[in-house]
Structure formats: structure tokens, C-alpha cells
Amino acid sequence: MEKDLSSYINKIKCCNSIEELKKLPDNSIATCITDPPYNYEFIGREWNQEEIERRTKRAKESETILVKNIPYGSGLAGGVRNKRWYEKNRQNIIDYTNWIESWGKELFRILKPGGFILVFNSNRTVAQVQVALENVGFYARDIIIWKRNTGIPKGLNVSKKMQKLGDPNYEYWSNWNSALYNMWEGIAMLQKPLEDNYINTLNKYGVGVLNVKSEGFFQTNIYDNIERDKNSDFNNHITVKPLDLIEKLVVLTTPVNSENIVIDPFMGSGTTAVACKKHNIKFIGFEINPDYCEICNKRLEENK
């Protein structure tokens, strides 16, 4: 067991986070804010640059996949909706939930009592995140909604499909689709159980409560009017979260003091690290993809 966190503080370590988390001491981390892979079907594969490029290429070459810039592979997408499809989808969900538990149990161990864990996920899978983290001991507090400025029409345009199939009644179905216009993303917010009560936990561990008026109004569980960043030329990460949003989550959950550390075990392009640096809060970052680790470090240099 790693007893000294100094080799991790304010650094991005390129590694398998599930293995690296096991080296961190109990009750040592204030907050976890992270954006793990959403796609079910990466389970059993290395989530590395080769796999990302394979899936992104698959999306770009497909006529039926609308979103071209992310690694396609969700168990909820594509295929004939027969019994086998639903069985496969259900197994993917089970595998994904088990995978979340594999790193969730380590985060539960290393977070301080009262520490918050915030995990991004899609509107169709955020429930699995909450359940998995509850299974390892966390207490569900809320689902934060990040309302994006633009949405993605992910469903089947019924009229166009029927027209393509030669159905003479296709115009009747002009307003019908298989899904809603998707404009939000969920953030599962859970908490490690308090030690007796809020005040005892806060006094002993420095965490456990929320900074709900940091911007002068009482913060709701909906974040909107978040502007997307203009990324640097070197930042080609496929799902960069807005820095403003991550900053708000850091400020919401993590009091600034020398003992509090924020961890992101799926650091991606480093937005959590940059947000912490801007607010003088220590961070620990893990990222399995060497290309993304390089992006993280460049962004940190850029934000000195």
C-alpha cells in the first residue's frame, strides 16, 4: 500500500486506474469527479488509442450512425430488435455495472467519510452508475443535469425510413421518431457515508457539505448556459467537458484546504486537473491512453 501521496499530487499518471487506485491509502481523498467511458462494448477490450480509433472509424463509415466523432459501440445501438439483441444488451449492462463496481469499490475505500463522487454518464446509463456505486457502499444524493446548448437527434426518422422502403403512407409519420431529441447529460452524485453527522464529519475530514451559493444564488441540480471551450489545436480528445462546468463541480464539492485532494481516475484530456489548478486545489489524475496523458500535461502547462 502506497503511504505517501506526494508522488501522485498534481500529476497525471499514465496507467490502468483500477490497478493504481489499489495503491492509495484509505480515507485520503476529498472528492472524485470523473467522466468514464460510456460504451458498454469496450468491456473485455483495452480502452486505448487503437480501440478508440477502430470504433471512431466504424462510426464515420456507417450510414446509420449519426454521431461520427465518438467511438461507436454502445449495446443500445444498432441491430435487429430480436430476443438475442435484448439479451445481449442486458448482458452488456450487467458487465458495465460490474466494471463500475470494480473501480467504485476502490474509490469508496480511498475517499474520506463524507466525500462526494460525481460521475458523468449518458441519460440511458446514469442509472447504472448510481446503482453500481450504491452496491459498493456509496449513498445516492442526487442526479445533476447538465443541459447542453445543442442536442443530438439519435433516433430513427420513421417517415424517411418508410419512404426509403417504398411505403406510400410515409408522410403520415412525418412527426414520428424512435427517440427524443437529447439535450442533457447526467452526473450521478453520491457520497461516502458521514461519520455520525455533517458537522462531525466536516470538522474531522474537511468535507461532507456543498458550497451551494458560490455564485450568489442557491445552486440547483440543473446546470445550463455552460459555454463550450475553444480547444487548443493539440487537444483532439473526443468528449471534452467544458472547463466552466468542471470548475463549478469542483467548487461545489471541495473546500479549499491543504488536506483536500480531488481525484479523476479517467482523466481524458485533463479538464478536472485544469479546474483544480485554477482553484488552488490538489488533484490526482490517472489516464490509460498515452496520447491523452500528453494532452493533459500540455493543458496544464498552458494553464500555469
In CATH, the architecture of 5-302 is 3-Layer(aba) Sandwich (3.40)
Q: Find the angle CA(183)-CA(184)-CA(189) to the nearest 5 degrees.
A: 180
- Supply the pLDDT for residue 43: 54
Number of helical H runs and strand E runs in the chain: 9, 8
Per-domain boundaries in the chain:
5-302
- Supply the pLDDT for residue 213: 95
Q: How many CB atoms lie within 10 A of CB 79?
A: 12
DSSP 8-state symbol, 273: H
Of residues 67, 84, 20, 75, the one with CA closest to residue 42: 75
- Supply the pLDDT for residue 38: 77
- Supply the pLDDT for residue 2: 45
pTM: 0.87
E-assigned strand segments in 75-210: 111-121, 139-153, 181-191
E-assigned strand segments in the chain: 11-14, 29-34, 111-121, 139-153, 181-191, 222-223, 261-264, 282-287
For the chain (length 304 residues), average pLDDT per consecutive 10?
78 93 97 85 56 66 51 55 86 89 97 98 91 98 91 82 96 94 93 98 98 94 86 59 95 95 95 96 94 91 82
Of residues 149, 299, 143, 148, the one with CA closest to residue 233: 299
